[in-house]
Structures are given as C-alpha cells and as structure tokens.
Amino acid sequence: MGGAELPTGDETMSAKNPERQSGAVDQVMFEKVIRDNLSPEGVAAVIAFLRTASVNSPTNEAQRQALAEVQWLADTLLDLIGVEECNRIYDELCL
C-alpha cells in the first residue's frame, strides 16, 4: 500500500490528541482503505462484532471513552455501507 505512513507510538491513542478524540480522519482515505480491504459482508460483520462491545455499561471514564470510540467506528462503517445493506447482509449471514 503506498501513501502516507501510519503514525507510530502512543500519539495516535493519546487522550490528549484532540483530533483523535473528535473522530476526525481523512474520510476519503478511510473509505478507500475499507473498500480496498473489506467486502460489504466483512464490513457488516465488523459492525456486528463492534456492537457487542457495548452490551455492558462502562464503569469508569476509560471504559466510557473506549466504548465511545468503538461506537464511532461502528457508526462510521454503517454510514459507509448503509443501514438497508447492512441489515440485508445480517440476514444473509445470520448475524
């Protein structure tokens, strides 16, 4: 894969990184990477598994933040393939 290098170290996961906390990403590049590497069925499966992460309520701020990030990713992926397509795939794959 060419292009920009991925960040290294803890700076990408730092709670002090406001860009990371806001969910701000290069949306075009994000969608290209997802489309180039995952089928719609793969995206739907990832969404289904991410949704299971929020079954339990967080008990502290670190858990709340982590679950918010998981929710953001699931919502972003759902926006990418659409609700109707995701539901169709869930039925097809019995998810």
Three-state SS annotation for 3-28: CCCCCCCHHHCCCCCHHHHHCCCCHH
Tens place of pLDDT for every residue, the chain, 95 residues? Answer: 343 333 334 444 444 444 444 556 788 888 899 999 999 999 999 999 999 987 778 899 999 999 998 998 999 999 999 999 999 999 999 99
Domain range enclosing 66: 25-93
- Asked whether residue 55 is domain-assigned, the answer is yes
Give the total number of structural domains in the chain.
Answer: 1
3-class secondary structure, 82: coil
Residue 14: inside a domain, yes or no? no
Supply the pLDDT for residue 54: 74
6, part of any domain: no
